[in-house]
Structure 1
């Protein structure tokens, strides 16, 4: 059952990353990447359904739905508090697959942006 919960969480997480609401936090802008994430998410959900541990009966369906509901609640709680942190591994993987190294938050803070005081004053 824990493997079905983890696979369901992974599938729902990938599908959430491809959704319109969370695509910016996940760093997914390309429609082809969204389709690929949806496909991988549905593949993980099918894999979770097929590896529930029983033969194809009603018990497998109940176990798969139970695992998906536990994973769904955990994902909703995670995305409601820290969506950017939840998709950080996906952003890093996408950046590595594109051939770029992701910038760490500490490196981004080390180089301060130069902004003139007049630009921030807004006419005050």
Structure 2
């Protein structure tokens, strides 16, 4: 049986896979499902790096607090062409999707920009359907 390489540093354990486990004692404050604050018994500044993630937080039956980060779902569409203000892609169900987003503050003629980029998307779609590795609809 092989033993995992672990080293203990105060209340911090670092495994050989780079995973960090930290155990801290203290008091937690929870308010109206929006605010959570943990106040440790002793100041161990820098033990846990700051992070910003969406996730699920819950208090377990034994009183411990559990937080599991939820990863962002990956796009299930295939990119055909990236455009200046959007993209043309093939969706999971086989449909072709054109997405364009132009802001008013860009100072562009929005109607013209949409028309030009839609035409670029259409050209890219023709190339995609013909199986051209490089744009061939312009020849």
Bigger strand share: 2
The TM-score by the shorter chain falls in which range? under 0.3
Greater relative contact order (CA < 8 Å, ≥ 6 in sequence): 1
- More helix by percentage: 1
TM-score (norm 1): 0.27
TM-score by length of structure 2 reads: 0.24
